[in-house]
A = this chain, B = another copy of it.
């Protein structure tokens, strides 16, 4: 992995769980008056993307330069309380496991101090064209291990 992909960023914020704050717009809601259940997967992905970015990991560059993509292979979501239009949702992201070719995340969506949804995701590292599993590049692995500890 090239240096361009691992910009020097102190991993301390990520260690603590980087927060991403998401505003709920009409596009996120449904006729039940609440955030549509599939949209939490969008929110959680935004959270993982910004968490990776805070470590200096840029997924577009990974795809272009290393032909590596992250693909979710398992998603487990618990919905506790609905969120509504104009709510501000805080996404917290933690890494829970680091395999040879996979990363496991635990994420939370909170609003006004109450959890709305919780997600656990297994993300596999695959080749961008063939979608075949690929080992995590060492430089990437080192960054993620630092963020985990």
Contact = CB atoms under 8 A, between A and B. Distances in A.
B41 A37 contact: yes
Interface string A1-41: 00000000000000000000001011101111110111101
B30 A27 contact: yes
A97 interface: no
B72 A85 contact: no
In the assembly, how many copies of this chain are there?
A: 4
Interface in A78-96: 78-80, 82, 84-86
Interface string A39-64: 10110011001000000001110000
Interface residues of A, number: 39
A76 interface: yes
B27 A75 contact: no
A85 B45 CA distance: 13
A52 B86 CA distance: 12
18 contacts: A25-B49, A26-B30, A26-B31, A26-B36, A26-B45, A27-B36, A27-B38, A27-B42, A27-B45, A30-B30, A32-B69, A32-B128, A33-B33, A38-B38, A38-B41, A58-B86, A60-B85, A73-B79
